[in-house]
Structure 1
Amino acid sequence: MEQMDLMTFFDINHTLVNIPIGGGYAMSWIEAVGTLFGLLCIWFASQEKTINYLFGLINVTLFAVIFYQIQLYGILLLQLFFFCANIYGWYAWTRPNAQGDTLVVRWMSSQKLLLTACISVISIILMTIYIDPVFFSLANITVDVLNLFGAQLDRPVLSPDAFPFWDATMTVLSVVAQNFE
């Protein structure tokens, strides 16, 4: 087996495995490791272990590298939100409140669950309709910010979203899930 250097690991074209789905899918090392860290984050969170945030931070960082390489700059910017949410979550979950109590995982009330579901459905509908202008704007903002740091990127020429409903659903529900108290 060939030895892999760090830059090869981060290259999305360095395939770990070909998955025979549809026309085939070449999963890169960075995607496989990022996915593994995401799954570990979810598992540790379900076990109420604060180490989940470390795995979440690694997951969103690796996927930010992927989205940068495939020029999905709007979703790259979304990873920054997830990164910040993980830092805040880790802080909030490990610090006692004014009464000295630590955060306790609990079920949502029926009223809050219904409100969250309604807001999610409305947001999914709006995001489905406006996904292209939203992510085109986010992509341009991201490129402009990266260029401030010397990246020298051209603004991307983006195609319309092929699956706006599914992409809107994943985006909205990911943000909603990060904001549960």
Structure 2
Amino acid sequence: MDIATWFDINNTLVNIPIGSGYALSWVEAFGTLAGLLCIWFASQEKTINYLFGLINVTLFAIIFYQIQLYGLLMLQLFFFAANVYGWYAWTRPQQETGELLKVRWLSTTKLGVTVVIAVAAILWLTPNIYPVFTALAQAAVDGINMLGGNLSMPQIEPNAFPFLDSVVTVLSVVAQILMTRKYVENWFLWVLINIISVGIYAAQGVYAMSIQYCILLFIAANGARQWMNTAKSNDSHPAGAKA
């Protein structure tokens, strides 16, 4: 088996008796496992989550390209960089205090700014997601070819779920940034993202990912509970709440 064949979503690891049957590919299986380990270790505030995160986003980028979820494909490039930064941020002592980052809540001002930016980004991206990611896909192909590749531009189909894909894309970016800075609110966003993702992947026929996000939903809810308790012990409280 060559490398290209291993990454093909049609290269089946096992057939799962879901509905009329679902062929789980090797790349999807390993990507799913890495994703579960990543989010579990993150909920435990363990820095090793970023190692599994890097594996997860790399494999999922390959999958998303093949099933033409272009918003989520390009999102993986951001996730890769965010995982690298998060690994650095979680292990680097803060200049102000000399201590590592602590779990805490967003301030009222930061929360307001975050909400406004997220809503504005969703409203802009929804009608523009097809031309935006078509242009990004072309840029990626051109960049690889400049490095000696011999790729042709794939046939780009209109995004299957422009609004939901935009919501997931924007909120995932926001949630990942908040996680790298250890803000509790990231877990509430992941809960919402996971709920939407279950439906998207099921509709696309990628059932293993749909099941994965069901599991991630419960992990995210548990992560929120644990980080809320940790923030309280760090004397940090939700915006607007009395200490």
One fold, TM greater than 0.5? yes
Alpha-carbon distance, 1:66 to partner: 2.5
Indicate conservation of the 8 Å contact 1:75/1:135, yes or no: no
> CA separation in 1, counterparts of 2:22 and 2:157?
21
- Write the distance in 2 (CA, Å) between the matches of 1:19 and 1:68: 25
Q: Secondary structure at the match of 1:101?
A: coil
Q: Please point out which of 53, 56, 73 is paired with 2:53.
A: 56
Q: SS at 2:15's partner residue?
A: strand
Tell me how far 1:111 sits from its aligned partner: 3.4
Over 3 Å counting, the alpha-carbon distance change for 1:148 and 1:85 in structure 2 is: same
Give the root-mean-square deviation of aligned CA atoms: 2.4
The CA distance in 2 between the partners of 1:139 and 1:92, in whole Å, is 30
Is 1:97 the equivalent of 2:94?
Answer: yes
- The question of whether the paired residues in 2 share the 8 Å contact of 1:74 and 1:138 is answered with no
Alpha-carbon offset, residue 7 of structure 1: 5.3
State the TM-score, normalized to the length of structure 1: 0.85
Report the Cα distance in structure 1 between the residues aligned to 2:158 and 2:17, rounded to whole angstroms.
26
- Which of 38, 48, 52 in structure 2 is aligned with 1:41? 38
Q: Write out aligned runs for 1:107-146 (5 A).
A: 107-146=105-144
Taking the aligned partners of 1:12 and 1:130, their CA distance within structure 2 comes to 28
> Could you tell me whether the CA contact under 8 Å between 1:17 and 1:27 is conserved in 2?
yes
Q: Return the alpha-carbon distance in structure 2 between the equivalents of residues 139 and 117 of structure 1.
A: 28
Give the secondary structure class of the aligned counterpart of 2:77.
Answer: helix
Give 3-state SS (helix, strand or coil) of 2:145's partner. helix
> Which AA in structure 1 matches 2:166?
A
Tell me which protein shows more helix as a share of its residues: 2
**What is the TM-score of this pair, normalised by structure 2?**
0.65
Amino acid at match of 1:49: K
Of residues 146, 149, 152 in structure 2, which corresponds to 1:148? 146
Structure 1 pair 140–152 and aligned structure 2 pair: CA distance change class (3 A):
same
Task: Tell me: higher relative CO, structure 1 or 2? Use CA pairs within 8 A at least 6 residues apart.
Answer: 2
- Structure 2 SS opposite 1:179: helix
Deviation of residue 72 (structure 1)?
Answer: 5.9
Alpha-carbon separation, structure 1, partners of 2:63 and 2:110? 35
Pick aligned residue for 1:179 from 177, 202, 211:
177
What percent identity do the matched residue pairs reach?
A: 63
Deviating more after overlay: 165-174 vs 9-18: 9-18
Match of 1:84 among 74, 81, 86: 81
Comparing 107-116 with 117-126, which one deviates more in the overlay? 107-116
